[in-house]
């Protein structure tokens, strides 16, 4: 697991961005260690029926897909969502073993790590964000770190409510 400790006196910008994103990714996976399959699929928040550990992990995986492949590279969107079911990636997650979702997320993260290493931080995305702007890779890395960290808070809460496990 990526740990941010023994911080050197200076990291270049790319190292900072990728290290913090990897730390957030690894934290999301760590929050799911040892959870039962039943608990991984259980929605316990009354107002959020799709908020499961499995759903969040699958969501994180597909969010990265969207930002790297659809927005940055401009590829056709092959995500599981539809206009009628925009949160489908969270809904279908309960159909798969959590371990499979975690492995797919880790493998995809490794592929995107290679993509980021080979791409300039100033590279403009081919696709646009909602307001029509073409963000750069730097913006995407910041956004994905924020998105993943926010969902890590959700994973913390769900895990504690499900089986009492708390993080550090």
- Distances 81 to 7, 24, 58, 63, 90 between C-alpha atoms, Å: 39, 24, 12, 11, 9
The CB density around residue 76, as the number of other CB atoms within 10 Å, is 7
- Distances 68 to 72, 97, 106, 144 between C-alpha atoms, Å: 5, 25, 15, 10
CATH 1.20.1440.230 correct for 13-163: no
Q: Rounded to an integer, what distance in angstroms lies between the CA atom of residue 66 and that of residue 78?
A: 9
In the prediction, which pLDDT does 11 show?
A: 83
pLDDT (tens place) for every residue of the chain, 168 residues total: 555 565 666 789 999 999 999 999 999 999 999 999 999 999 999 889 899 999 999 999 999 999 999 999 999 999 999 999 999 999 999 999 999 999 999 999 999 999 999 999 999 999 999 899 999 999 999 999 999 999 999 999 999 999 999 876
User: Domain segments of the chain: what residues?
Assistant: 13-163
What is the per-residue DSSP string for 30-88? HTTTT--HHHHH----TT-TT--HHHHHHHHHHHHHIIIIIIIS------S--SS-TTH
In the prediction, which pLDDT does 110 show?
A: 97
**Residue 12 is encoded by which pair of tokens?**
């270049």
Phi-psi region of 164 (alpha: psi -120 to 50; beta: other; left: phi over 0): left
């Amino acid at each position: 697991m990526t740990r941010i400790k023994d911080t050197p006196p200076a990291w270049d910008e790319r190292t900072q961005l990728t290290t913090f994103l990897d730390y957030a990714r690894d934290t999301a996976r760590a929050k799911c260690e040892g959870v039962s399959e039943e608990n991984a699929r259980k929605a316990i928040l009354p107002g959020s029926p799709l908020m499961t550990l499995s759903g969040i992990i699958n969501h994180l995986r597909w969010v990265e897909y969207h930002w790297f492949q659809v927005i940055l590279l401009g590829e056709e969107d092959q995500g599981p969502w539809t206009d009628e079911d925009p949160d489908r990636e969270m809904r279908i997650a309960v159909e798969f073993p959590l371990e499979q979702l975690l492995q797919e997320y880790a493998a995809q993260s490794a592929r995107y790590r290679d993509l980021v290493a080979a791409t300039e931080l100033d590279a403009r995305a081919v696709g646009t964000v909602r307001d029509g702007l073409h963000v750069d890779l730097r913006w995407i890395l910041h956004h994905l770190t924020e998105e993943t960290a926010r969902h890590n808070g959700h994973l913390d809460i769900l895990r504690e409510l499900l089986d009492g496990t708390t993080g550090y």
